Structure 1
Amino acid sequence: MSRLALALPPWLAHALRAQRGPVPWSAVVRGALAAGPLLLAAVLVDRVSVGVVAALGAMLAGINDRPGSRRVSVKRLGVPALAGAAGLFLGTYLGAHAGAVVLTLGLTGLGLVAGAVSAVGTVASGAGTQLLVAAAIGAGMPLPEAGWQRALFFAGGAGWLIVLRLALPTPSALVSDFRFDGERDAVAAVYDAIAALLSAVGDEAATARRAALTAALDHAQDALAGPRLRRYASSSAERRLRAQYAAALPLAEAATALAWAEDALPERAAEGPRRLAVAVRTGEPCGPLPAPSRSVPGLRALDDALLHAAEAFDRGGGKNSGTNSPKSSPGARSSHGDASETSPLDLGTQRTARYGPRLRPLRAKVPLLIRTITGAGGREYGFRVALCFGASAAVAQALHHVHWYWLPATTVFLVKPDLGPLVSRVLNRAAGTLFGAVVFAGFAAVLPRPEGLVALVALSGALIPVATRHFAAQTAVVTVLVLSLVMVGGDPQASWSRIGETLLACAIVLLVGHLPVPGQRGGNVRARLGRATEAAHAYLAHVLSGADDRAARWALRREAYRTLAEARAAIDRASAELPALARHTEGTDEVAATLERLVDTTTACAVHLDDTGRLTPRHTGRLATLLDELVEQRERAGLAEPPANLLSA
């Protein structure tokens, strides 16, 4: 498949690409227990329409049910569900009291707002999607319940899945407290990524391993970002996990600096992080940590970080407590004197622990959110979503189709840029709908009603967590589920009309996606690159200022790498568009690569300054070269000049 993908154009190769990984059996069980049982209960009490709405809420929540911690799942599933309930209420009101023209204008306005908000991030994108899908369903689906009742039952269906997510244990929960299995796996993955990077130092794979470390840190940061993780944690398990996450930050910094130096390391250097990863997962003592050679600043920083990690694990309590003290570990050698003065646990409480692992307090995030929504990325996305959603609603009503709401609802999924390039989404949506409709037609011909259709809903719900790895597979499963709900609700078999609506939605989105828009194209990519440049500047300025606040430095480093990863993801999606769209972001991948090397070099400078108090000509020369390259590449890509204080740094 990899050789074939290399021979295909990017837009087609992306359409064939699927995510890999183990089957999320816990999510499969939750999916089977969500929409199907809700629909069955409604059928048994003769309130089928209520069951259909609740099952829709559970289905849309199931699409957002991804691996992670329980505390994060509340926001990931709950915020979009609340937006969907609001959309269902507004759509029902508009459909009942507004004419065709006012309804179309109202849906277009909702599309503009939801599209702009979707540019903020993953959760906001899910909220915008459910708001619009539910608004279209509320406006067009004939149901006997009032708008507020529909919204309540929709939220109840999503809430049932959230209850399952919080209550049901996962396989890894057998090891320790099941409430924190997601957090535990995420923190352990950070130590695994650190060990993998150290093993790859001096190799071609080092760059990819550093990117994997960034992804692991991002995931752990999100996993620990729950409402209960505050300055004073409510349990020893939370205190231990917070300490273990904080202890990984200096280790990640040292590993990145060693990768920048490109001098191969003995396998012994990676053994310590590996043992720490096992200790996180099992709750058992990590044992003595092998001490790396202290021949260069990066290795001395790694040794010190291992010492501090051992102390942080001990201070976190639990089974590790008192079993791996710095005095007894062969790795417990430090040039900093009393380890407690610079322990990551103590430093973390200065800043990061106050707000959990989040990097900024809420008051600092609000201006950024507003700037994102009203910026180039939010405006461009909002404009396209509004135009597609409004146009599809107008066309659907003009056709006087009984299921006219399917057309705008389908358009919402097609216009979402975070699901992949435009042409990839269209191809996968068309193929998935065709396959799902044909499969459902076969089942509908032989299954008893409604029992067989309820079972088909439960089966489809169980398949959604696996199908989300590829957009065509997800579309096929959702098509089967939706058509089953429609038939249980009393409507006739609608497979073929569903295919026609989808193809029409594909045509609308393709047309609107290639229309010229006011301003410069690629606004989302440019906005994310701009935030990454600002974050890199803040990190570089802090390191070169000589400030001794390491907690602040680690927070700035995390922000720099996280914004770069987000920019990279947006650039990769844009580069896989058709040439007519991909040309608007040409050269941005080079800018992102230079920013990554700049942040890596800044990390190496920070470690060297900690050890010697001064920079070598290699460090200063590399910084100057990268800053010059950044100016040239941004000019070629048509981007604004980087901040003047970044160039003068």
Structure 2
Amino acid sequence: MSRDVRRIPALVLPPWLAHALRAQRGPVPWSAVVRGALAGGPLLLAATAAGRVSLGVVAAIAAMLAGINDRPGSRRASVRRVGAPALAGAAGLFAGTYAGDHLGAVALTLVLTGLGLLAGGVSAVGPVASGAGTQLLVAAAIGAGMPLPDAGWQRALAFLAGAGWLLVLRLALPTPGALSGDFRFDGERAAVAEVYDAVAALLDAAGTEHAVARRAALTAALDRAQDALAGPRLRRYASSSAERRLHAQYAAALPLAEAATALAWTGEAVPRRTGEGPRRLAAAVRGATHTGPLPAPSRSAPGLRALDDALLYAADAFDHGRSGDLHTRRRSPGSVLRTVFGAAGREYGLRVGLCFGAGAAVAQALHHAHWYGQHPHWYWLPATAVFLVKPDLGPLVSRVLCRAAGTVLGALVFAGLAVVLPRPEGLVALVAVAGALIPVATRHFAAQTAVVTVLVLALVMIGGEPQASAGRLGETLLACVIVLVVGHLPMPGQRAGGVRARLTAAGGAGHAYLTHVLSGSDDRATRWTLRREAYRTLAEARAAIALTAAELPALARHAEGADEVAATLERLADTTTACAVHLDDTGLLTPHHVERLTALRGELAERRDRVGLRLPELPLAG
């Protein structure tokens, strides 16, 4: 007897909801947890002992914001990642305090809207600039809306002291497990070692369906290593042999990555032992030891010969620790200004300015309403709007859902704890616990919002404000409505400006890389730098496209076709790499290389015209 079995289709969530439920994974960053616990609590205790509780609250807020920016990576990168937003936050606090003290409601709203336009445009430059723009606006709202007895310059100094304390902890405290060597460079060693592991993984995947994903993982590893080494030198003139060696080890990974990409491009498997050399190099980086003998791959093909040469180059670099400065990603002031005032900066700035200004206007209206006199401090609403309107934090609806859910949870938790905790000791301990949870909570926006809500409510109560969970929840929901409305308003010019700007940058970088390769230049250092920029801009474009694709259809449709353009540019970069390796070996391109470049040239032109992008015409090969 047969049975009619009907398969129940799997539940497929829409992208905007799936993104809201997705969380990052990874080991617990215990060193960041310790820093978070030591950040706000000691500052509050010191300020209380000195009789300046209000300044302690400001310093603890700064330490909290610095903790949000204290992401995994190297110490040198943390100087810029934490320090630049802290400086912007201090400036915003100074400006907001004096504007709130001397301007009326209408003039203050106009000033805050102008700051939002400026900070939004700057945020389009990159992650660090985005963090700076966020802290500028959040601190400006706090300065204007939180009545404290201290002068603006005192608040700004307290803000810098709080962020600086967290940065001192970041630079001084060792990472667990890194005490055996020079712990100042543990983040850099881990990042560079991951590059060699990624090279080995790509070689293992050559000729399989996993090769494309492994090549993307290699790009991500190179990006992280580039960022890890891009901060200030920890010793003047780089006198540390460990520091020089890390620069050399990163530079030695570039020709290895090039050879591995060329081998994967052929679609043919390589001998299993081919990846053993990069894996030994990874172990040598992690242990700060010598490489020992490296197994030589077969030299039967141009890619394998390039890989063998790269291994010999790496062995010499590891022994002598000499290299050029290839890790720095330089941006001219002109390119930064073009980003700020270009399509991406204008769209970003207009939305941030409208949301921040509208949030400030509504909050002040509620502040002056007699029926809303229970919670007179109005900074929460515009500050919440700033976090919600930042597109680099996730798709719009996902951000709104996570912010609302996190605020509800955080407000309920704090309302319960505020009843039983002694004051101020219990609240100070709660600040320390919440600070320790921030590094873990940053993996999901709702969790981060819940922890930050508890921490901020504890801080404002320590500063003398009554329990305000209900008011904060209502203001958060108002901010969600404002950001949802502004986020879907029609804007002048083409939408998805951020995606288009990043695709344009990726197209220009790919064009420069291909032009250099086809020119026959022997300057390999420049070639490797151009290759890095081509793949890095492609990764940034892919990230922007993925975020836009997870928006509601009304917003996601403006980036239709962008993913196909990015895929074509990636295939072009891989083909250019294969051409470079083959030209090094033979001095000539094969008909297959020329045919592939010609096909990609036509494909890119077709897809570029379909989505209305302006990309440079690729040079002809042959």
TM-score range, shorter chain: over 0.9
- Determine whether 1:94 maps to 2:64: no
Aligned equivalents of 1:175 and 1:265: distance in 2?
Answer: 37
AA in 1 matched with 2:604? L
Deviation at 1:513? 0.2
What corresponds to 1:286 in structure 2? 291
Aligned equivalents of 1:208 and 1:644: distance in 2?
Answer: 28
Deviation at 1:40? 1.9
Aligned equivalents of 2:621 and 2:461: distance in 1?
Answer: 66
Aligned equivalents of 1:230 and 1:446: distance in 2?
Answer: 49
Aligned equivalents of 1:647 and 1:630: distance in 2?
Answer: 13
- Determine whether 1:22 maps to 2:22: no
What corresponds to 2:464 in structure 1? 490
AA in 2 matched with 1:468? T
What corresponds to 2:241 in structure 1? 236
AA in 2 matched with 1:302? L
What corresponds to 1:83 in structure 2? 88
AA in 2 matched with 1:74? V
Change (3 A) 1:460 1:491: same
Aligned equivalents of 1:218 and 1:403: distance in 2?
Answer: 42
Change (3 A) 1:461 1:404: same
What corresponds to 1:616 in structure 2? 590
AA in 2 matched with 1:376? A
- Determine whether 1:214 maps to 2:214: no
1:423-502 correspondence to structure 2 within 5 Å? 423-502=397-476
- Determine whether 1:272 maps to 2:277: yes
What corresponds to 1:139 in structure 2? 144
Change (3 A) 1:232 1:455: closer
Deviation at 1:55? 0.2
Aligned equivalents of 1:12 and 1:429: distance in 2?
Answer: 14
Paired residues, number: 608
- Determine whether 1:534 maps to 2:547: no
Deviation at 1:231? 11
Residue pair 2:597, 2:621 contacting (<8 A) in 1 also:
no
What corresponds to 2:362 in structure 1? 395
Aligned equivalents of 1:310 and 1:6: distance in 2?
Answer: 52
What corresponds to 2:191 in structure 1? 186
AA in 2 matched with 1:643? P
- Determine whether 1:643 maps to 2:616: yes
Residue pair 1:5, 1:13 contacting (<8 A) in 2 also:
no
1:550-565 correspondence to structure 2 within 5 Å? 550-565=524-539
- Determine whether 1:595 maps to 2:569: yes
Aligned equivalents of 1:54 and 1:256: distance in 2?
Answer: 48
Aligned equivalents of 2:408 and 2:257: distance in 1?
Answer: 47
AA in 2 matched with 1:357? H
Residue pair 2:191, 2:221 contacting (<8 A) in 1 also:
yes
Structure 1 residues 574-611: Cα deviation after superposition (integer angstroms, max 9, x where no partner): 00000000000000000001000000000000000000
AA in 1 matched with 2:56? G
- Determine whether 1:125 maps to 2:99: no
What corresponds to 1:226 in structure 2? 231
Q: Which has the larger displacement, 152-161 or 262-271?
A: 262-271
Residue pair 1:111, 1:132 contacting (<8 A) in 2 also:
yes
Deviation at 1:618? 1.0
Aligned equivalents of 1:231 and 1:99: distance in 2?
Answer: 49
Q: Which has the larger displacement, 227-236 or 412-421?
A: 227-236
Aligned equivalents of 1:43 and 1:631: distance in 2?
Answer: 65
Deviation at 1:631? 1.1
Q: Report SS of the residue matched to 2:332.
A: helix
Residue pair 1:172, 1:181 contacting (<8 A) in 2 also:
no
Aligned equivalents of 1:229 and 1:456: distance in 2?
Answer: 34
Q: Report SS of the residue matched to 2:328.
A: coil
What corresponds to 1:358 in structure 2? 328
- Determine whether 1:32 maps to 2:37: yes
Aligned equivalents of 1:6 and 1:249: distance in 2?
Answer: 43
AA in 2 matched with 1:393? A
Q: 1:44 aligns with which of 49, 53, 57?
A: 49
Structure 1 residues 598-643: Cα deviation after superposition (integer angstroms, max 9, x where no partner): 0000000000000011111111111111111111111222223x21
Identity %: 78
What corresponds to 2:4 in structure 1? none
- Determine whether 1:153 maps to 2:158: yes
Aligned equivalents of 1:37 and 1:420: distance in 2?
Answer: 33
Q: Report SS of the residue matched to 1:23.
A: coil
- Determine whether 1:605 maps to 2:586: no
What corresponds to 1:384 in structure 2? 351
AA in 1 matched with 2:436? A
Deviation at 1:195? 0.6
Residue pair 2:76, 2:234 contacting (<8 A) in 1 also:
no
Aligned equivalents of 2:234 and 2:300: distance in 1?
Answer: 39
1:314-329 correspondence to structure 2 within 5 Å? 314-316=319-321
Deviation at 1:286? 2.1
Q: Report SS of the residue matched to 1:241.
A: helix
Aligned equivalents of 1:647 and 1:475: distance in 2?
Answer: 52
- Which runs of no fewer than 5 residues in structure 2 stay unpaired? 1-7, 368-374
Structure 1 residues 41-98: Cα deviation after superposition (integer angstroms, max 9, x where no partner): 2223332101100000100000000111111111110110010000000000100000
Aligned equivalents of 2:74 and 2:450: distance in 1?
Answer: 28
Deviation at 1:234? 1.6
What corresponds to 2:3 in structure 1? none
Residue pair 1:58, 1:157 contacting (<8 A) in 2 also:
yes
Deviation at 1:647? 6.4
Deviation at 1:266? 1.9
Structure 1 residues 530-558: Cα deviation after superposition (integer angstroms, max 9, x where no partner): 00000000000000000000000000000
Residue pair 2:601, 2:618 contacting (<8 A) in 1 also:
no
Aligned equivalents of 1:294 and 1:233: distance in 2?
Answer: 37
Task: Give the TM-score normalised by the residue count of structure 2.
Answer: 0.96
Aligned equivalents of 2:243 and 2:284: distance in 1?
Answer: 15
Task: Give the TM-score normalised by the residue count of structure 1.
Answer: 0.92
Structure 1 residues 201-244: Cα deviation after superposition (integer angstroms, max 9, x where no partner): 11111111111111111111111112227995321111111111
- Determine whether 1:298 maps to 2:272: no
Structure 1 residues 449-478: Cα deviation after superposition (integer angstroms, max 9, x where no partner): 111110000000000000000000000000
Aligned equivalents of 1:149 and 1:107: distance in 2?
Answer: 21
Aligned equivalents of 1:575 and 1:603: distance in 2?
Answer: 29
What corresponds to 1:342 in structure 2? none
Deviation at 1:359? 3.6
Residue pair 1:228, 1:234 contacting (<8 A) in 2 also:
no
Structure 1 residues 170-229: Cα deviation after superposition (integer angstroms, max 9, x where no partner): 124223101111111111111011011111111111111111111111111111112227
Residue pair 1:56, 1:154 contacting (<8 A) in 2 also:
yes
Aligned equivalents of 1:284 and 1:205: distance in 2?
Answer: 31
Deviation at 1:644? 2.9
Aligned equivalents of 2:483 and 2:213: distance in 1?
Answer: 35
Residue pair 1:94, 1:139 contacting (<8 A) in 2 also:
yes
Residue pair 2:41, 2:432 contacting (<8 A) in 1 also:
yes
Change (3 A) 1:272 1:256: same
AA in 2 matched with 1:156? A
Aligned equivalents of 2:466 and 2:303: distance in 1?
Answer: 69
- Determine whether 1:566 maps to 2:540: yes
Q: Report SS of the residue matched to 1:171.
A: coil
Q: 1:549 aligns with which of 523, 537, 541?
A: 523
- Determine whether 1:416 maps to 2:390: yes
What corresponds to 2:334 in structure 1? 367
Q: Report SS of the residue matched to 1:152.
A: helix
AA in 2 matched with 1:375? G
Aligned equivalents of 2:357 and 2:621: distance in 1?
Answer: 48
1:246-265 correspondence to structure 2 within 5 Å? 246-265=251-270
Deviation at 1:4? 11
What corresponds to 2:60 in structure 1? 55
RMSD (Å) for aligned C-alpha atoms: 1.5
What corresponds to 1:634 in structure 2? 608
Aligned equivalents of 2:616 and 2:55: distance in 1?
Answer: 55
Aligned equivalents of 2:304 and 2:393: distance in 1?
Answer: 41
